[in-house]
Structure 1
Amino acid sequence: MDGITIEADDVIVEEFRSVRPEAPGIELTGHRVTVRKNTVVGPRGGDGDGIRFFGDDLTIAHNTVRGTDNSHGRHADCMQTFASDTPPSHRVRIENNRCEKVDNMCLMAEGPNDGEGDGRGTTADFTVRGNHCETLRASQALMFEDVQNATITGNVFAAPTDHAIGLAHHSTGARVNGNTLHSGIRYEVGIDDSSRAGYRGPEPGGLP
């Protein structure tokens, strides 16, 4: 089964269920796109991601992604964006989603200047709120590289990762508060020196 691909502006994708789709289960590229109340189970092939997104003024809300699989060298995230010959993303709301039994990260967000991107533009202004995150194999649940002004609040980190949130490669201006952590998580935030400007949140426990 193919996944769902959106390449358009001003679109709402709602209440679809994809079981073992070709990964990514949902991929969206555009502006003012809303993806809500969808379910992706067991995406396969490719890098194994549940949802990939690129563009501006995006809303990803009340979706469930379950059972991403890191086997065969994949990095199977619940959600991912990057800026390597793909548009950088701005003003993205990721709210009240459930990432269940995902092998890799619940969110991997990479900007254009993270060392692997195309160096064009910026990635900025993410709100990550109220999500349930169960990541089984990665060192962190959320990773931001060259993403400015992320607000990360009210999420539940339900698995014992090394740390919950990583901020690296000039991911400045992050705001972190009100999250609930599994007792096995060593520390909430890992941060590198380039990302400390404008950071507000709990004292970082180490590197990302």
Structure 2
Amino acid sequence: MGKIGYARVSTTDQDLSLQLAALSAAGCGVIRSEKITGSTVTGRAELRTVLDFIGAGDTLVVTRIDRLARSLGDLQDIVRELKAKGASLVATEQPIDTGTAAGKAFLDMLGVFAEFETNLRRERQMEGIAKAKAAGVYKGGKTRIAADEVRRLAGEGVGPSAIARQLGIGRASVYRLLGSIKTSAPSSQA
């Protein structure tokens, strides 16, 4: 029966020290941390390590639920995984303890608000981009694949793998571009 801490911030310039101190003060024997977005659980190696390691009677401790997940679905998946292993979840700054009915209810409410906040931020970002485009300030991301160059090299007989290496792009992108050319070319079946 141990307490395992998990701390997370979204960007590399943010500081983890307050979360780490709070988790240590809460009695966590093991604390894992990472600097990565919380909008998805994909790619969060330290969280995966904690979830793989945690066992029956253990408690996952976070400072706030939004450090764990920003999506209600992800949060519920994590809680289900903990429950299946016989572990619980506690937040030091929020009245959350999945060992109690009230704690579970409050957890779900906070999960809804965390997801709502993420969706609002995304909407504001899209509105800002639309406004910048209308003002001629924002032109979108730079083109990462030079389609004309891929087609030129293919026309010179350079293979897809060589094209990908030369242009620093993935082979799948080369095949996708060349596929649109080949499907429009007449087939020569004998």
TM-score under structure 2 normalisation?
0.27
TM-score, normalised on structure 1? 0.25
More strand by share: 1
More helix by share: 2
Per chain length, whose mean CA-contact separation is higher, i.e. which structure has more relative contact order (CA < 8 Å, sep 6+)? 2
Give the greater-gyration-radius structure (CA): 2
